[in-house]
Amino acid sequence: MAAAEQVTIRQVADADIAAVTAIYAREVLEGVATFELEPPDAAEMAARIDALKQGGYPWLIADIGGAIAGYAYAGPFRSRPAFRHTVENSVYLPPDFQRRGIGRLLLEHLISECEARDFRQMIAVVGGSDNVASIRLHERCGFIHAGVWKSTGWKFGRWIDCVVMQRPVGPGDSTAPAV
């Protein structure tokens, strides 16, 4: 990150929906971080954000002087009740803001937010075994490799793996959760 850059990590706001929608649409159409094939519109993105927030999950924005430099959120890992203490994370940055330390700031804040909510495990499902930037980001934030789901997605005329990574949050599995 450039020395003069002041990154603010904050909760998502309604005014961020257009920028979030554009960032995600680019990844849907050009990248493999998501296996979605058609970009959702702003109304759908707003509904998804609201559903996660209503469920008690964190949804964060990286803001640099009013420009949205990326976002990160956590959501349920699986819907079965026994998984309720485990979250899956997502981090998205537009190309102009990649490789500047912003993803790490977002992920570190997201981990802290999840700890404050008493989640105990965080899972990352990285689209593409060749997505080195995302894999390294997660490693730098304490994730370990938990496996690879081979050829689980078909996008851009090819099979794509998912790299599964995991890290404890807060006390992890060393104590029982509050509920």
More confident residue, 101 or 179: 101
Tell me whether residue 179 is in a domain. no
Instruction: Determine the structural domain holding residue 81 and report its residue range.
Output: 7-168
Tell me whether residue 126 is in a domain. yes
Phi, psi of 122 (to 5 degrees): -125, 130
Tell me whether residue 178 is in a domain. no
Tell me whether residue 176 is in a domain. no
For residue 46, give the 3-state DSSP assignment.
helix
Tell me whether residue 81 is in a domain. yes
For the CA atoms of 113, 116, 120, 126, the dihedral, rounded to the nearest 10 degrees, stands at 0
Strands 67-76 and 158-168, sheet pairing: unpaired
Tell me whether residue 156 is in a domain. yes
Q: What is the pLDDT of residues 61-95, one digit of tens each?
A: 999 999 999 999 999 999 999 999 999 999 999 99
Tell me whether residue 173 is in a domain. no
Q: Are 64 and 1 in contact (CB under 8 A)?
A: no
Tell me whether residue 177 is in a domain. no
Q: How many CB atoms are closer than 10 A to CB 37?
A: 11
CA triple 61-62-64, angle to 5 deg: 135
Domain count along the chain: 1
Give CA–CA dist 167/108, Å, rounded: 12
Confidence of residue 4 (pLDDT cuts 50, 70, 90): low
Q: What is the pLDDT of residues 12-58, one digit of tens each?
A: 999 999 999 999 999 999 999 999 999 999 999 999 999 999 999 99
Q: What is the pLDDT of residues 106-163, one digit of tens each?
A: 999 999 999 999 999 999 999 999 999 999 999 999 999 999 999 999 999 999 999 9
Residue 178 above 50 pLDDT?
yes
Residue 3 above 50 pLDDT?
no
The CATH number linked to 15 is: 3.40.630.30
Beta strand ranges found along the chain (DSSP E): 7-11, 59-64, 67-76, 86-92, 121-127, 144-155, 158-168
